[in-house]
Structure 1
Amino acid sequence: MFTGIVEERGTITAKDELAEAARLTVRGPTVTSDAAFGDSIAVNGVCLTVTELTDDGGFTVDVMAETLRRSSLADLGVGATVNLERAMRADGRFGGHIVQGHVDGVGTIAAISPTPNWTVIRIVLPPALSRYVVEKGSITVDGVSLTVSGVGHDDGGSWFEISLIPTTLEHTNLGQAQVGNPVNLEADVIAKYVERLTAAGGKDND
């Protein structure tokens, strides 16, 4: 489990295309400082397993076809900046919200509106995710735990907005975001459980 509090921005240093999979090598000195084989590290919000550690503070992960299909990792190349977070320690502070590292879909940045003290980013949602996104609720964007500051719908589809403070822009890759960029989205897991229980009418669903 993760919290959506990004620990550092890493860089993809190698990408090997495999049969219905990919192997990524990511440099991240902070997240690899105590990492071991088999540990979980979120890369742009995707929970991945460390398969190898490199001498320069990097780690290698294998990304299967399902993950490539459901996330934006397939679009990333060597040199791309990614948000990194180690799995949450049981005795650590819970600074964000419950993040599983299981991406629900890919959104598209539709607008970026800077102001003197923050930046508002509008993201178009996949239709199936819009019901989970509510104003003042939590959502994970490329692994960053954020509060939804607005929701709406127009000719471009359903969208939500997030308001980013300078610290978030500086310490995550959202500070480099551009209109048209894809971003990984994970809806609040509580909303999904509530929907499931409501649909089942509170009864066992075999």
Structure 2
Amino acid sequence: MSTHRPAALQGSLFDQADEPRLGPPAGLRRTHLGSGAWIDVLPGWLSGSDALFEHLAAEVPWRAERRTMYDQVVDVPRLLAYYREDDPLPHPVLAEARDALSAHYADELGEPFATAGLCYYRDGRDSVAWHGDRIGRGAREDTMVAILSVGAARDLLLRPAGGGPVVRRPLGHGDLIVMGGSCQRTWEHSVPKSTRAAGPRISIQFRPRGVN
């Protein structure tokens, strides 16, 4: 079992709301990446994000995983939780967020967001390597993955599959990013390790049924 302890969250001076609240998604701004891929970004979609971070950090049944890599069994460098389509989410505002995203993208996506995966990056040592969500339908179909971030900002990097120029988006404190079109097939994304002092961050990833 990992003895890695989470760093303390330094709250945002600009987000002092006691209760988490969503803003309208109308402020989403789209960037076309090429090859049919795009991202929509909305900074500060969720106010009261620090309060939500503290609730999730304390109440979610986080699990530490180990996996085999290069003939060694190593710790996965983040904590994980997963909520299936019919599972109650760990805070009502997350169900509101999933429903709001489903309504906003109904015409474009053609189906609702269904599942929620959570990642807890405890400090700059935690990370996720370059990948696309290609298990399931994302390997062959255009789809969307929406990520809501609470806690300290960490860089989300995107690049064309196989390498190329990197797009960098710092995400935290209630920011939203939606990766759409062919993004999971033709682009990759990662959260790299950071040598800078990095506070903890939790990301909530909303996906349609059959996309992982």
User: TM-score, length-normalised on structure 1?
Assistant: 0.29
Larger relative CO (CA 8 A, sep 6+): 1 or 2?
2
The structure having more radius of gyration, on CA atoms, is: 1
User: TM-score, length-normalised on structure 2?
Assistant: 0.29
